[in-house]
Amino acid sequence: MSSISANDLKVKGVAIIEASLHKNNEAVISVRGKNRYVVMQMDHYHYLRECGLEVALIQTQADLKAGRFVIESPEEHIARLE
């Protein structure tokens, strides 16, 4: 993963991000020497989101199989959350 300073970003604009992403999937933007943001190409972002959704589906299926769920009305659900 490459690192881009906020100053480089200010001076060179999107071109520095494009150059960095040409070599890596992600680029870190640092502000005052501290890593603050991650920039990535949209297709990589969609891939990561899909991975997260796949994990959530697997966890939900495991919960259902293990009986870790509740059947209730919306009102009962809200009351339980409060």
In terms of domains, do 30 and 60 share one?
A: no
The pLDDT of residue 26 is above 90: yes
In terms of domains, do 35 and 48 share one?
A: no
Largest CA distance in the chain: 57
The pLDDT of residue 1 is above 80: no
> Element (H or E) spanning 36, and its range?
strand 34-40
Per-residue model confidence as pLDDT tens digits over 28-71: 999 999 999 999 999 999 999 999 999 999 999 999 999 999 99
pTM passes above 0.75: no
Structural domain range at position 61: 43-81
In terms of domains, do 32 and 56 share one?
A: no
Total structural domains within the chain: 2
In terms of domains, do 14 and 35 share one?
A: yes
CATH number for position 15: 3.40.1620.10
